[in-house]
Structure 1
Amino acid sequence: MDDEGDDERDELFGIAEVSERIGLAADTLRYFERQGVVPAPRRDSAGRRRYAAGDVELIRMLVHLRETGMPLADIAQFTGADGRAADPAVLRLELLTAHRRRVRERREELDRALDVISRKIADYDEQGAGTPRRLERPDCALAFDVRGEGPPLFLVGAPAGRAGFAALARELAERFTVVTHDPRGIGDSRAVTGMAAPTPEVLAEDLAALVDRFTGGPALFVGTSGGAVTLLELATRHPQLVNRAVLHEPPLVTLLDDADLTSRATAAFAVAEGDPQRAVQEFYDLSGAGHHTGPGETPPPHLALPELPAGELDKNRYFLGRMAGPSVLYAPDIEAVRRVPLTLCAGALSHHQLARRATRALADRLELPLVDMPGNHLGASTEPAAFARAVLPLLRQPDAR
């Protein structure tokens, strides 16, 4: 196998030892050897297999490649078992690069499937939650839930509502009285004739009325996506209500100084009523919010979405057609926001996505740090336990100014 084994001073291992070290059954090692996936090891005078340290590391790499779905034929080339490569290092680089691309594509598919599963869990959670409470507003009734004990904490989204925050609320209910609500036109806060449009200004007044229902004084808030935009407007209109607010990825395209991005967003919102499938696809591509991208990664410019069911299309007629535009195109009053204790955070896997870029721009204007949170733009709903652990110290910390 590898040249390291040619040195007689190298420590050699029997097949049972190798099996224990890498967690691969001895019979499987023998099978891979027979299939030409790994080169045959040396034998001692009694015919027993003897593996050098380099052999063990090569087999360990084989296990990792197999677990990530690399075809056995490619693994054989990688290990050099077929003996055909003129330059093994170059071949291995090519094989790993191609395999990384396949793994990323597979991860994107799994991420999309996970998001669908998470939404369905939220739907069933909502169905089993019982009858929500109601807050009457002049032009609609807001549905809300309350759970837990302790200081009041409001989880705020747009479009995320009671269902989207159900798992996170359960995680936080041991420490707080957690209040979640469906923004107007979402979930059980159904749109009614004559209802005012769900702009950040209107949503902030709805939230202020909900806070007044419970405390009338300062409270804690966590807002995600459009809900973080609602909190920026609440901070401007009613700073006395905010004890501390944690804002996760407000998608403020107005802060990015990017005319093309603004134009694409506006175009997506414009077609939502007549063609919600197209609007969802265009907003998905420009925001990148469904992807998981680390510091050195960028979301793909286009990834075709499956046809949405009728219920999802109806939801997006309202969300993208009426709610998302005013939030994404909202321009915060920076000087007013400075007066309120805020923490800005973004997904550790949201790099180079619209919302994280916008949050970074807002943090720079407010001269605040940007805190990494678990997951991507949807981390509060897809990773509720990890998100709750990360948000707890942010709710307790003093003003960082």
Structure 2
Amino acid sequence: MSDEADEVFGIAEVAERIGLAPDTLRYFERQGTVPSPQRDHAGRRRYTAADIELIRMLVHLRETGMPLADIARFTGADGGAADPARLRLELLTAHRRRIRERREELDRALDVVSRKIADYDDRSTGTPQRLERPDCALAFDVRGEGPPLFLVGAPAGRAGFAALARELADRFTVVTHDPRGIGESRAATGMAEPTPEVLAEDLAALVDLFTGGPALFVGTSGGAVTLLELVTRHPSLVSRAVLHEPPLVTLLDDAELTSRATAAFAVAERDPQRAVQEFFDLTGAGHRTGPGQTPPPHLPLPELPAGELDKNRYFLGRMAGPTVLYAPDVEALRRAPVALCAGALSHQQLARLATQALADRLGQPLVDMPGNHVGASAEPAEFARAVLPLLRRPDAR
């Protein structure tokens, strides 16, 4: 058998291996993106296996946005560089940094687009139903058939869960609602503050509207904190609760984090832009960080529109503080039918660290879920598939 390293290949064979048309290869060659191969006596291009691997690498670098000048330097490194290996290492390191920066930009754009899709999806469902409470009216939606499943957020409401609800509606009667002061559940004069205790009582009233018995729940972020209080106060209402990244700084035993969070909440009323920036940097929740990665300590946010600033005056000024600083009753939770999960791309972020701390105290595993802190809204189909096994009790068949 011949060794492939000694073989030579024509342009048609190379094009098929790399997945490009021969004319595209010729164009890249003219542009200096890929090196010119040796030619035989008839002038036909002859590529070695090493040529193919280099071309595949260079095409990949081009597709991921490496500047053509850098590609040319990478290609010609063996010819003119005193230390070609070091030059290529420097070029690749700089390119990796650009890719990571671009990925951060795309992740932020994806989150914005996902929220807008959820917003339009929610608007298309029509007028919500309402549950009258002593001091407010809660807006809620219902879709699907099957066992009741409540999707719970804080501040996320009907809009934030619209796509996930649609994914789960073929198996469950999915109920979503706007927490008091959010979305269509408008704040009213004299309305009680949106603490986890108050939000849990709102949720209990909503559950009573549908079933007198236990139900299924999925709570994300502040909604997971609401469920921690619900399962403590009303354990008979909970058949199974999946808690995704409750951002409890109280579980991290870190005075600096607590101080930074408190400072962000304190300025929310007069300077919501600053509060959003400080909370974003504190939590790292807008980033996608895998194992071994750490979110950047600071990433400047664009100026928020007036509507978003008003929302964050309420969320960061009134709801987030009691939620993030909530102290769960760990002993009561040891008996609770809860499953704990966190984004597979939330590593070294506050909410995942807190959820891991809670899992450790309860002696439970922490289950990886698709995406980061906003995986439920940004990747609803994948999140729905991953959450289904967690809704089953461990002793269920």
2:294 match: 298
- Which consecutive residues of structure 1, in runs of 5 or more, have no partner in the other structure? 1-6
Q: Indicate yes or no: 2:80 matched with 1:50.
A: no
Tell me, yes or no, if the aligned pair for 1:135 and 1:141 is still in contact at 8 Å: yes
Q: Indicate yes or no: 2:228 matched with 1:253.
A: no
- Equivalenced residue count is 394
Tell me, yes or no, if the aligned pair for 1:36 and 1:76 is still in contact at 8 Å: yes
Tell me, yes or no, if the aligned pair for 2:293 and 2:347 is still in contact at 8 Å: yes
2:303 match: 307
2:352 match: 356
**Equivalent-residue separation in structure 2 for 1:311 and 1:122 (angstroms):** 17
Residues 87-236 of structure 1: matches in 2 within 5 Å? 87-236=83-232
Kindly state the Cα deviation for residue 392 of structure 1 after the two structures are TM-superposed.
0.6
Q: Deviations over 1:311-368 (max 9, x none)?
A: 0000000000000000000000000111111110000000000000000000000000
**Equivalent-residue separation in structure 1 for 2:31 and 2:215 (angstroms):** 65
Q: Aligned to 1:110, what secondary structure does the other structure show? A: helix
Matched letter for residue 29 of structure 2: E
Q: Indicate yes or no: 2:323 matched with 1:319.
A: no
Matched letter for residue 242 of structure 2: V
Q: Deviations over 1:138-190 (max 9, x none)?
A: 11110111100000000000000001000000000000000000000000100
Q: Deviations over 1:207-243 (max 9, x none)?
A: 0111111102110000000000000000110111110
1:3 match: none
Identity, in percent, stands at: 87
**Equivalent-residue separation in structure 2 for 1:127 and 1:213 (angstroms):** 23
**Equivalent-residue separation in structure 1 for 2:80 and 2:95 (angstroms):** 19
Matched letter for residue 124 of structure 1: Y
Q: Indicate yes or no: 2:17 matched with 1:17.
A: no
Q: Aligned to 2:47, what secondary structure does the other structure show? A: strand
Deviates more, 1:192-201 or 1:106-115: 106-115
**Equivalent-residue separation in structure 2 for 1:346 and 1:26 (angstroms):** 46
**Equivalent-residue separation in structure 1 for 2:230 and 2:323 (angstroms):** 13
Kindly state the Cα deviation for residue 259 of structure 1 after the two structures are TM-superposed.
0.7
Kindly state the Cα deviation for residue 29 of structure 1 after the two structures are TM-superposed.
1.9
Kindly state the Cα deviation for residue 28 of structure 1 after the two structures are TM-superposed.
2.5
- Cα pair distance change 1:8/1:383, threshold 3 Å: closer
Tell me, yes or no, if the aligned pair for 1:345 and 1:372 is still in contact at 8 Å: yes
**Equivalent-residue separation in structure 2 for 1:58 and 1:370 (angstroms):** 42
**Equivalent-residue separation in structure 1 for 2:335 and 2:38 (angstroms):** 73
* RMSD across aligned positions (CA): 1.4
In the superposition, the TM-score normalised over structure 1's length comes to: 0.96
Matched letter for residue 287 of structure 2: H
**Runs of at least 4 residues of structure 1 off by over 3 A?**
none
Matched letter for residue 165 of structure 2: A
In the superposition, the TM-score normalised over structure 2's length comes to: 0.97
**Equivalent-residue separation in structure 1 for 2:53 and 2:308 (angstroms):** 49
Q: Aligned to 2:192, what secondary structure does the other structure show? A: coil
Kindly state the Cα deviation for residue 245 of structure 1 after the two structures are TM-superposed.
0.4
Q: Aligned to 2:162, what secondary structure does the other structure show? A: helix
Tell me, yes or no, if the aligned pair for 2:4 and 2:49 is still in contact at 8 Å: no
Tell me, yes or no, if the aligned pair for 2:5 and 2:49 is still in contact at 8 Å: no
1:77 match: 73
- Which consecutive residues of structure 2, in runs of 5 or more, have no partner in the other structure? none
